[in-house]
């Protein structure tokens, strides 16, 4: 029989990513197991109490969906002019630079007060034409607008001013050649924006107190909502509520999520899609297999201003109940509908400082998959899926090798 002591603290130079739940040790001499059939068992395991993360994968990721929010969209309009010329205020250094220009234009209108040439400052997003080719801006001369230049950007207020005073019926149209028809891009508020969804990722870590987790949860979810609203170019009133779209607190130990009153009055609706484990920790379900829909804001026939969990929140509610140890030196074992290199499944001891199995009478040797072993990798998981946990805590193992035939 051979015994080998393994530790997550060893071989950090060769394996810098070693941690308490996934580590590899290089043996100081190679084990020759070529004669006969050999097996290995875990005779002792020592770990720090509560070493696992109480927020961990995969339930540290949940979705946020925002509906009924107003966004700024750019729409294209074409307006006719008797005269429309422009001059660049500055020659751009790069074709991707925004261009500021002064436009001189004369409206198609019968109104006597608007028969003269007017001037406005407008912009163009870049120096590309409609075919994607760079436009050669030569000097500071006045340019007559050409359709190939593409859209120019103006404010909604200016567009409304011009459109209200233009006689579209009397204005001539030209299908070919140079035209005084100018294409504008106008930013407008769209109050029928499509729902947007994004994932929120909580940091995998170990919290000592539930209240500490609630603070982080509240910050992360509000940061994500603000990021989503910025990305979809939401209207300014929504952005002013940065950091306070949802307020998450503990009320008598229960989780309370309240929607910002200003955002609620603007009609926005927020839906959270969480894994059942996270709902269980927050107290919205009594078991870790109950699904629960979290919706804040105006619904079809009701308004949800706050969500109070039915049970007390507990950051340690969904801690592992067993440790599944896997290793690269053992043969595959059948688990559920797949095979994994299972070394041992150990029930967690949540009361003492260590868990130890020393009696060889209760040890079961798993067949070895290699005839020669120079390094051993062991990883610890909370279930049969063999996805390693992570911890900064230390772990020690004793493996006993014995001939089984």
Do both 144 and 201 map to the same domain? no
Distance (Å, whole) CA 399 – CA 45: 9
pLDDT band at 175 (very low <50, low <70, confident <90, very high): very low
Round to whole Å and give the CA distance between 218 and 244.
9
At residue 235, the pLDDT reads 84
**Are the CB atoms for 69 and 278 separated by under 8 Å?**
no
Give the pLDDT score at 302. Answer: 80
Judge if 65 and 198 occupy the same domain. yes
Q: How many CB atoms lie within 10 A of CB 62?
A: 19
Residue 17: CB partners within 8 Å, gap ≥ 6? none
Nearest by Cα to 378 from 38, 4, 6: 6
Domain that holds residue 26: 2-52+321-403
- Which pLDDT score is estimated for 351? 56
- Res 257 pLDDT > 90: yes
Chain centroid offset of residue 197 CA: 10
Q: Using only C-alpha atoms, what is the Rg of the chain?
A: 34
- Residue that wins the pLDDT comparison between 173 and 271: 271
Tell me the mean pLDDT in the region 350-370. 63
Of the chain, the percentage scoring pLDDT greater than 70 comes to 92
| pLDDT (0 to 100) of residue 284 | 92
Averaged pLDDT for residues 267-291:
88
Instruction: Flag the least confident range among 111-125, 187-201, 320-334, 361-375.
Output: 361-375
Looking at 265, 289, 312, the residue that finishes a domain is: 312
- Interval 347-356 mean pLDDT: 58
Q: Are 283 and 311 in contact (CB under 8 A)?
A: yes
Please state, in angstroms and rounded to a whole number, the distance separating the CA atoms of residues 307 and 256.
6
Beta bridge partners of 233: none
CA distance 290 to 133: 57
User: Is pLDDT of 179 > 60?
Assistant: no
| From 47-56, 267-276, 308-317, the region with the lowest mean pLDDT | 47-56
Tokens of 329: 């030196």
Domain boundary residue, one of 190, 223, 248: 190
Residues 261, 330 within the same domain: no
Q: Which candidate, 273, 306, 308, 311, places its Cα nearest to that of 292?
A: 273
Do 160 and 82 lie in a common domain? yes
Angstrom distance (rounded) from CA 85 to CA 263:
44
* Rounded average pLDDT over 310-314: 93
At 129-151, the pLDDT tens digits run 999 999 888 766 788 888 888 89
pLDDT band at 358 (very low <50, low <70, confident <90, very high): very low
Do 205 and 286 lie in one domain? The reply is yes
Residue 47 belongs to a domain with what CATH number? 2.60.120.1100
Confidence label for 95 from pLDDT (cuts 50, 70 and 90)? very high
Number of domains within the chain: 3
Residue 74 — pLDDT band, cuts 50, 70, 90? Answer: confident
pLDDT mean over 7-33: 91
Tens-digit pLDDT profile for residues 198-216: 999 999 888 889 999 999 9
Check whether residue 207 and residue 185 sit in a common domain: no
Q: Which two tokens stand for residue 373?
A: 């072993």
Do 304 and 375 have their domain in common? no
Residue 353: pLDDT over 80: no
User: Mean per-residue pLDDT for 148-166?
Assistant: 90
What is the arithmetic mean of pLDDT over 54-77?
90
Same domain, yes or no, for 121 and 105? yes
- Predicted pLDDT of residue 361: 47
- Angle at the Cα of 109 from the Cα atoms of 105 and 112, rounded to 5 degrees: 100
Q: Are residues 45 and 33 in the same domain?
A: yes
Q: Which of 98-107, 251-260, 312-321 has the lowest mean pLDDT?
A: 312-321
Averaged pLDDT of the chain: 86
**Same domain (yes/no): 167, 213:** no
Mean pLDDT of 158-182: 69
Last residue of a domain, one of 284, 312, 340: 312
**% pLDDT > 90, the chain:** 42
Out of 21-30, 119-128, 160-169, 246-255, least confident range: 160-169
Q: Are residues 79 and 171 in the same domain?
A: yes
Say if residue 12 is in the same domain as residue 97: no
Q: How far is Cα of residue 293 from the mean position of the Cα atoms in its chain?
A: 20
Say whether pLDDT at 357 is over 50: no
Rounded to an integer, the average pLDDT of 26-47 is 88
């Amino acid at each position: 029989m051979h015994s080998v002591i393994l530790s997550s603290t060893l071989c950090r130079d060769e394996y810098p990513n070693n941690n308490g739940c996934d580590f590899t040790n290089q043996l100081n001499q190679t084990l020759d197991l070529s004669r006969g059939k050999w097996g290995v068992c875990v005779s002792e395991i020592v770990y720090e109490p509560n070493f696992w993360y109480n927020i961990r994968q995969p339930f540290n990721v949940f979705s946020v969906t925002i509906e009924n929010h107003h966004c700024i969209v750019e729409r294209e309009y074409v307006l006719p002019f008797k005269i429309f010329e422009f001059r660049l205020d500055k020659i751009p250094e790069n074709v991707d630079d925004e261009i500021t220009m002064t436009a001189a234009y004369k409206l198609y209108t019968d109104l006597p007060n608007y028969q003269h040439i007017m001037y406005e400052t407008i912009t163009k997003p870049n120096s590309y034409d409609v075919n994607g080719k760079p436009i050669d801006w030569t000097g500071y001369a006045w340019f007559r607008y050409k359709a190939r230049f593409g859209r120019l950007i103006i404010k909604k207020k200016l567009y409304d001013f011009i459109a209200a005073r233009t006689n579209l019926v009397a204005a001539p149209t030209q299908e070919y050649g140079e035209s005084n028809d100018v294409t504008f891009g106008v930013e407008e508020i769209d109050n029928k924006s499509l729902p947007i969804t994004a994932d929120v990722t909580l940091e995998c870590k170990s919290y000592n107190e539930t209240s500490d987790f609630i603070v982080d949860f509240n910050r992360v979810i509000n940061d994500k909502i603000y990021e989503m609203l910025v990305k979809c170019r939401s209207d300014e009133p929504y952005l002013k509520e940065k950091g306070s779209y949802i307020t998450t607190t503990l009320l008598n130990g229960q989780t309370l999520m309240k929607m910002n009153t200003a955002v609620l009055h603007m009609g926005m609706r927020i839906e959270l899609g969480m894994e059942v484990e996270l709902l269980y920790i927050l107290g919205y379900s009594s078991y870790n297999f109950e699904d629960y829909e979290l919706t804040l804001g105006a619904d079809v026939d009701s308004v949800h201003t706050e969500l109070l969990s039915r049970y007390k929140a507990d950051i340690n509610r969904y801690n592992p109940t067993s440790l599944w140890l896997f290793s690269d030196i053992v043969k595959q074992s059948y688990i559920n509908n797949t095979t994994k290199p299972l070394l041992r499944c150990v029930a967690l001891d949540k009361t003492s400082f260590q868990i130890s199995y020393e009696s060889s009478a209760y040890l079961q040797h798993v067949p070895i998959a290699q005839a020669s072993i120079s390094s051993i990798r062991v990883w610890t998981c909370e279930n049969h899926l063999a996805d390693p946990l992570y911890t900064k805590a230390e772990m020690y193992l004793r493996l006993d090798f014995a001939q089984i035939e």
